[in-house]
Amino acid sequence: MNPSFDNTQNAFAYKSTGDLKRARFLFSVIQSPLVVKLATKLTPALMQSGLPINGLIRNTIFKQFVGGETLEESARVVKQLGAYQVQVILDYGVEAKEGESNFDAVTEHFIEAIEFAASQSNVPFVSVKITGIASHHLLETLNDAPRLRSGIHDSEEDNAAWDRVKERMHAICEVASEKGVGVLIDAEETWIQDPIDRLAIELMTIYNKEKVVVYNTYQLYRHDRLRFLQMSHSIAKEKQFLLGAKLVRGAYMEKERERAQKNGYASPIHENKEAVDADFNKATEYCLQHLDNIALLVASHNEYSNQLVMEAMQTKQIDTHHPHIHFSQLYGMSDHITFNMAAAGYSVSKYLPFGPIKDVIPYLMRRAEENSSVNGQTGRELVLIRKELARRKGK
């Protein structure tokens, strides 16, 4: 039988009553898009002003959504989650500053995270953002340069910079392959995604021959991504490598639509949520049909999508711990999905960011914005937290 996502005793067993009350307060606040909009504008400025607000941020939004400022601090959360059979995707949540020395430093942080993951029993993956090791300007230039698709480009400087990006990714993947840790390449905005996709395929061609090391991320709120997933699979079969596919709905909807309207091109985003949901579920179904050479990571907070995959696994008699199927939700959200699935024996993880408070602020602001904009998500979190608090009070 599939787990019930309404079981709050399982969902919040790892949280103290004090933690739950803080979460209740936080989700109550971020229910208001107006409050979130104001906070996202003011918080970075207040951090830079020197006012003593670090403690407030650390004990609220940081504690809810981040593992710690360092890997050592995050180790406590990793161990805590492991006690409930929940695995971890480590994410160095700092947004890199421009400059080759900064990109090299971020590369080292990714490698350190991989080495740490290899020392833990429940950290199978590390998330990598290409924007952490490559210039936005470079990625945008490559995205708009059709001739680069055949490996030719006018600018020697751009070619040299792109070679350095590839060297950084090869250094990351070499260590990951050696240590047995998966590398999840994050998806980005459409105007810089094309070179990232091509690099992901190039890396999979090398490192995914016998096991899945590299995963690309497919944002199914884009109307072309289901087709691109199928095309990626065709390339994988032709070049004889295993395709790593992390499926998400997407994170840049408002920004994508605004840019398309401003620049006068058709929006790359589906017109409505129903179309997004349909493509996401078709994508999971496609991957399940080809588990011999596709490794699927279902990264979703959508209860129905997770249930659909679990039901398909039961129908096809696929083991809950199949090495090519994994589920994931963000740390601090959807515990009712993560912990109930873990208790039922599924391979499921929390996406766990870490990094200094001042540097992780952009990530935290996005989490707040996404929570306030996702219809019903925050309300569902609040209902379940209140239900568990009431259950504990009535014991």
**For the CA atoms of 225, 227, 233, 237, what is the dihedral angle to 10 degrees?**
-150
Domain count, the chain: 1
Cα distance between residue 395 and residue 392, in whole Å: 5
pLDDT, tens digit, for every residue of 57-96? 888 888 999 999 999 999 999 999 999 999 999 999 877 6
Counting residues of the chain whose pLDDT is more than 90, the rounded percentage is 75
> Helix %, strand %, coil % for the chain, to 5?
60, 10, 30
Q: Name the burial class of residue 259, with classes exposed (0-12), middle (13-18) and buried (19+) by CB atoms within 10 angstroms of its CB.
A: middle
Q: Is residue 290 included in any domain, yes or no?
A: yes
Which range of residues forms the domain containing residue 323? 67-360
Q: Is residue 168 included in any domain, yes or no?
A: yes
pLDDT at 237: 98
Largest pairwise CA distance in the chain: 71
Cα distance between residue 33 and residue 372, in whole Å: 5
Q: Is residue 304 included in any domain, yes or no?
A: yes
pLDDT at 377: 72
Q: Is residue 12 included in any domain, yes or no?
A: no
Q: Which two tokens stand for residue 95?
A: 């947004």
pLDDT, tens digit, for every residue of 200-214? 999 999 999 999 999
Signed CA dihedral, 288, 289, 295, 297: sign only:
negative
Cα distance between residue 27 and residue 44, in whole Å: 20
Asked if 357 and 57 count as a contact pair (C-beta separation under 8 A), the reply is yes
Q: Is residue 43 included in any domain, yes or no?
A: no
Q: Is residue 102 included in any domain, yes or no?
A: yes
Nearest to 153 by CA among 196, 195, 106: 195
CATH number of residue 339's parent domain: 3.20.20.220
Strand partners, 348: 327
Asked if 267 and 257 count as a contact pair (C-beta separation under 8 A), the reply is yes
Cα distance between residue 87 and residue 219, in whole Å: 23
Residues of the chain with pLDDT under 70: 1, 36, 40, 44, 46-52, 96, 146-155, 366-376, 395
3-class DSSP assignment, residue 294: strand
Asked if 176 and 206 count as a contact pair (C-beta separation under 8 A), the reply is no
Cα distance between residue 192 and residue 136, in whole Å: 7
- Residue 126 one-letter amino acid: V
Q: Count other C-beta atoms under 10 Å from residue 67's C-beta.
A: 28
Q: Is residue 338 included in any domain, yes or no?
A: yes
pLDDT, tens digit, for every residue of 276-330? 999 999 999 999 999 999 999 999 999 999 999 999 999 999 999 999 999 999 9
Asked if 363 and 95 count as a contact pair (C-beta separation under 8 A), the reply is yes
